[in-house]
Structures are given as structure tokens and as C-alpha cells.
Copies of this chain bind each other. A is one copy, B any other.
């Protein structure tokens, strides 16, 4: 863990180290991913089964790729009532927030007489990639699937790797709660290839979303353009801005909740109270003695964690903007006021009783957020990921007479004569004398 004092002369050097990319090593994945995608495109299910056997140690025939309704029902029915209720509460809250997020169409007639519009329509089909193994989280199934449902996507196909054939039953239960019943036990670049190009068993989709490992990220990059993709997810991070009135133990838990995700995760405390910073650091060390995922969380905290002391909240806000964190938790006397001064953050959690974990599960807003400083330009998953815009223009004869001549001038200047003629021929027919 780094201790940085924003008032000190050597702050910039230490801060630069903190900003250093924590990107996983992706060198060398380009070529194997290209090979996998080409094989899936050419051979379809045969290649899918071959790679699933190789990478997931699971021998499958094409007819077993799809998870059966019985398997889903069995998983759903084996879920405890408490967990089912929790999944349903989370789903209802996520659905409500994303419904509030739905944008409105636009339509107006302007003073030139043109009627201009913009309308939103849902994608026909999307693919959800759900990581397997340690990161197969039912909450992520809800967070990925429900915005697509709310947007009105008719077909949602989910791919989840099942290393050794093991599939978290809660992932299936969450899929059932979210209304997703098309699920395939396939992962990695081969799953991305199947979703992008389609196979006999898995029909192609229009857009692929969801986080994955370096192979999945590279595969999404390579199929981009043929289908849409979401952001490439990197290791995640939290910045906690807290004054000395907070409970050091609570604050330590908030930092560790991020650190326990991944050794590359980053947890940063920014405070104006150096003694509080020390108390939180001591509490972190204390909790690490008993935390089940202490090996991961401890590594993350040691390598990428930091306590930054600032002279005031203005300085804190400017440091937050430079970190552009995925998660920002604000526990000061005026969290709303502080949040208003921040430009770059994926999601902001405000109040001493609003830890980031609220947003991971039951807050309502999406927990799939821009990581690794991409909040400078990217946004969390939303209904916008599953909608597209079509603009419309309607022009009457009079409207064309008003705006057409300028179009003719520009088209001629660009050397595009058919463009100019398509306007001027009509203007001429309307009695224009300008051309």
C-alpha cells in the first residue's frame, strides 16, 4: 500500500506510479484468438466442441451445448427462498432504474419547415458473456440481462464457460429470474466467435456484452465491426473519499470489498485526516487476518492500494478526476456537494451508510462500469447499450427551396455532382433560379 500526501513535494512521482496501468498481460493473445475465431467461423459447432474440450476439459456434442430447461428449473428450485427473494428484490430494483433510464424520441418542425426526428429502437438480438469459474456471479447475470430486456431486445443468448462441467446453479437461477432461457455452456474466444458469426446451434447476435478474460477481450476487439461490443473491461477499482468522522472499520471493509475481487484491483482512500488514514490502514491489516479471500485482497492492497492525504476536498476532487475511478464512494459531511465537483467516475455512492456493495447488488443502477480510468470516455452498462438511434428528415417543397441551395453549393464545392444534381434538379422543377 502506498501512503501519499498530496501536499508534499514528491506527490506527483508517487501518484504517477498509482496511475500506471494495471492492465493484464495481453501480449500474444492476438494470434491464438484469430485462429479460434477463424475455426469457429469455418467449422461452427465442431470447433466450439473441440475448444470446449481443450480449454474447459468438457467433452460435448453440439446437441449438449445448450443448457436444458430442466437444468435451469432444477437450479431455480434448488435455490433457497432467502436467496430467491434477494435475487427478485435486486431484479425489481435494477429493472425499475433501467426503465427510468429509457430515453425519449425526438420530433419537431423547425422554422425552415423541415421535420426532424430521432427515434430509439431495440437491437434484435444480443449475446451476454458471463465469466465462469471464480467470477461467475449471479448478480452480473441480472445486471447484463435486465437492461436488454427493458430496452426491448427480443432475443438474449447467454454464454458461460463451465470448466470441468461445473456451472454455478445461482447463475442459472438468476437467468431464470431475468427471463433468459437461451444459455450455452461455452466460453472464451470460441463463445465470442459463435455469438458473432453464428453456428448451427448458436445463432449469431447483433451485439456482445459482458466481461471476460484476456482472450474474451481480444476476441471482442477482433469481431468489433461485424457485431457491436461493449467496453473492454479491465481490472476494477474504488476510490473512497472519507473524512475523519467515519468508522475506520467500515471504511476498511469498503476498500477490501474492492480488493477481494482481483489481485489487480485497486482500492484508494482519500482523506483530509492523516490519523484517520492510519486507523483505516490498521483496520485493513486487521480484517485481512480473517478475511476468506485475504490472499487476493492482501495482494491487491499491497501492490495497488493507497491512502492519499489531501489538504481539502477540492484537491481530492481533482485527484479523483485523474484516477477516473469505476467506483467512487463519498463519505463526507456534504457528499452531494463533493460529487457535483467530480467529472470522471463510473458510479458514485454517497453517504456513510451507502457502501459500494449496495450498488453491486440492490441499488438499481448497473454494476457493469468503466474500469481502469476509462470513465474518462466510457459509461456503465445501460439500456443505451441495447438501443440504437435512427434520425429522420422530412422536407416539403417549400423547405427544400429554403435549405436546398446551400446544399447545392456545398456539394459542388466537394466535387460531388450527383449530390448537387439530386438537389438542383428538384429545385429547378420548383422554379429555382439560383443554379
Contact = CB atoms under 8 A, between A and B. Distances in A.
A227 B83 CA distance: 39
Count the copies. Answer: 2
A80 to B, nearest CB: 9
Interface in A313-370: 335-336, 339, 342-351, 353-366, 370
B364 A116 contact: yes
A116 B97 contact: yes
A50 interface: no
A186 interface: no
Contact of A393 (B291, B350, B415): B350
A413 B138 contact: yes
Contact of A389 (B124, B335, B357, B382): B382
Contact of A391 (B123, B231, B261, B348): B348
A344 B247 CA distance: 53
A116 B365 CA distance: 8
Nearest to A361: B407
B391 A380 contact: yes
Contact of A410 (B101, B138, B393): B138
Contacts of A207: 377
A403 interface: yes
Contacts of A359: 391, 393
A375 B206 CA distance: 10
Contact of A406 (B89, B225, B399): B89
Interface of A: 30, 82-83, 85-87, 89-90, 93, 96-97, 100-101, 103, 106, 108, 110, 112, 114, 116, 118, 121, 123-124, 134, 137-139, 170, 206-207, 217, 221, 224-225, 227-228, 231-232, 234, 247, 249-250, 253-254, 256-257, 259-261, 287, 291-293, 297, 335-336, 339, 342-351, 353-366, 370, 374-380, 382, 384, 388-397, 399-400, 403-407, 409-411, 413-423, 425-426, 429-430
